[in-house]
Amino acid sequence: MEDLLTLTNVIIGITVATSVIAFSSDAERDKMLFDPYIVKRKKEYYRFISSGLIHGDWWHLLFNMFTFYSFGTLVELYYKDIFGSLGAIVYLVLYFGGMVASEMITYKTHQDNPHYRNLGASGAVSSVLFSFILFDPWAKLYLMFIPVGIPAVLLGVAYMAYSYYASQRVQDGIAHDVHFYGALFGLLFTIVMKPAVLLSFVHQLMGQ
């Protein structure tokens, strides 16, 4: 039972339930979307969090929650091992802090754009994923249609590079900047909270 009541599973349960509500009601969905124009004018700052608890469709929800479950379960254990009784709180700050931090640049960029909106937990999930990469950079990650495992650190570098490039150049309706800044938050937050993690990361990269 304790394994089922991890923070990761609780967050997934809340996100699935909230997303299902948003799927069935456009009115509820609109109240929760991240809309910088509305946030600025109506001071609805809760949207920084609520937008990360809803998704565009089932595939969007499934992909984010599967990724979060795959890495969040491990990062949660790492945090509890490192920070002891404070591990749960620090892990929640990683997840929800990544959610908010990943939207800050978006808010600044689009606060006067009445047509911009986004949703999804991608920023928070990116924070958790990149925190994991610091702990285990050579872990093999598998992507769909690619039969061999790719080292987490290499995939992370490629992901960051593409997200930054796409946020500047690609207009495909995906908030690539959220992915980039969420990942950056995950790296910086983990290092600030436990600087020794960076030394361990470097040693692992060097094979020591």
For tokens 């692992």, the residue is 204
Compute how many other C-beta atoms are within 10 angstroms of the C-beta atom of residue 136.
18
Alpha helices in the chain (DSSP H): 7-24, 26-32, 36-42, 47-50, 58-83, 87-110, 122-135, 152-169, 176-193, 196-205
Q: Is the pLDDT of residue 99 over 60?
A: yes
For tokens 């650190």, the residue is 153
Q: Is the pLDDT of residue 1 over 60?
A: no
CATH of domain 7-205: 1.20.1540.10
The reported pLDDT for the residue numbered 10 is 96
65 and 15 Cβ atoms separated by less than 8 Å: yes
103 and 34 Cβ atoms separated by less than 8 Å: yes
The reported pLDDT for the residue numbered 63 is 85
Cα 171 from Cα 121, distance rounded (Å): 20
Q: What is the mean pLDDT of residues 36-42?
A: 96
Q: Is the pLDDT of residue 171 over 60?
A: no
**Closest CA relative to residue 185, chosen from 122, 109, 120, 99:** 99
For tokens 């920070």, the residue is 83
Whether pTM exceeds 0.85: yes
The reported pLDDT for the residue numbered 84 is 94
Domain residue ranges in the chain: 7-205
Tens digit of each residue's pLDDT (9 = 90 or more) over 128-157? 999 999 999 999 887 666 678 888 888 888
